[in-house]
Amino acid sequence: MYTLRDVTKRYTRGKATVHALDGVDLTIEDGGRLVIQGPTGGGKSTLLQMLGGLDRPTSGSVELDGVDLAKLSEAKLTKVRAENIGFVFQSFNLIPTLTAQENVETALVPLGGGAAERRRRAAEALDSVGLGERLGHLPSEMSGGQQQRVAIARALVKRPKVLLADEPTGNLDESMRDEVMEVLETMWKEHGLTFVMVTHDSAIARRAPRLATIRKGKVTITENAAA
Ligand SMILES: Nc1ncnc2c1ncn2[C@@H]1O[C@H](COP(=O)(O)OP(=O)(O)OP(=O)(O)O)[C@@H](O)[C@H]1O
């Protein structure tokens, strides 16, 4: 479970100070799903970075299961991230010279274990996103939607508690967008993940049961029971 208390993030640009997050209080239950929307520069990616421990707040606390990520040493934060948090970004960030299976295996390397076990788990993760027949394909041999599904498999192969996605459909056309959203929603349901996603897509935001709108660093939560 996430508990954010009075989180601020300020950046200094020359003489100006940007309040990317301004007193954010937020709770996300285990297994919950939150969609984050808002205007450009509103603070969406900054909020996701705080949740993922990719950056630290200027003040306030970001607790994941009672542990304040803001206070962990860099080494402990890296361990928490590797074990608990999967990331998916707009750009798929696959290594072009590695096959789908090898790309997914890279997520398991920091966790130790043997090569055969890594190969088996990567194949299983790719199968779960519908790419069991494409283990040996290079990214260049796959569509954008398929590449993003490889990235999702890579995020989930370590069986994280949390999946954080920053505009995962931003680089995709409509049919691939639906394909990727369907995979993400299936993974969320089947794996009991806590799933937080940033989107610019108003159709996706409209369908969200819980929506965080972030403007000028301030968050407003809307619950949509009908979604
Ligand atoms: N590393 C940084 N250094 C300076 N300013 C930054 C940095 N990262 C973000 N900002 C600023 O903080 C504010 C919030 O940025 P953020 O990227 O979180 O917004 P966003 O809602 O994700 O925007 P977009 O929709 O364009 O991705 C913006 O004014 C941005 O310019």
What ipTM did this prediction achieve? 0.96
From ligand 1's centre to the CA of 38, what distance in Å? 12
Strand order in the sheet with 210-215: 85-89, 162-166, 194-198, 33-37, 210-215, 218-223
Contacts of 29 (CB under 8 A, 6+ apart): 1, 194
Index of the ligand 1 atom closest to the CA of residue 217: 14
Residue from 21, 37, 44 whose mutation best tests the ligand 1 pocket (most atoms within 8 A of CB): 44
CB of 43 closer than 6 angstroms to any ligand 1 atom: yes
CATH class label, 30-58+74-223: alpha beta
pLDDT at 130: 95
CA of 40 to the centre of ligand 1 (A): 8
Distance 143 CA to ligand 1 centre (A): 29
Residue type, 12: T
Q: Which of 7, 8, 11, 22 to mutate to test the pocket of ligand 1 (most atoms within 8 A of CB)?
A: 11
Q: Which two tokens stand for residue 26?
A: 């937020």
Q: Would the CB of 9 count as within 6 Å of ligand 1? A: no
Contact 49, 196 (CB under 8 A): no
The response to whether residue 44 sits with its C-beta less than 6 Å from ligand 1 reads yes
Rg (CA), the chain: 18
Q: Closest residue (by CA) to atom 23 of ligand 1?
A: 41
What atom of ligand 1 comes closest to residue 200's alpha carbon?
25
pLDDT at site 224:
82
With contact defined as beta carbons under 8 Å apart, do 44 and 216 qualify? no
pLDDT in tens, the chain (227 residues): 999 999 999 999 889 999 999 999 999 999 999 999 999 999 999 999 999 999 999 999 999 999 999 999 999 999 999 889 999 999 999 999 999 999 999 999 888 889 999 999 999 999 999 999 999 999 999 999 999 999 999 999 999 999 999 999 998 998 899 999 999 999 998 888 999 999 998 888 888 889 999 999 999 999 987 66
Q: Is 18 in the pocket of ligand 1 (CB under 6 A)?
A: yes
Per-residue model confidence (pLDDT) at position 57: 97
What pLDDT was estimated at residue 128?
94
Residue 113 has a pLDDT of: 82
Other CB atoms within 10 A of residue 17 CB: 11
Q: Is 42 in the pocket of ligand 1 (CB under 6 A)?
A: yes
Ordered by start, the domain boundaries in the chain are 30-58+74-223
Measured between alpha carbons, how far is 64 from 92 in angstroms, rounded to an integer?
Answer: 26
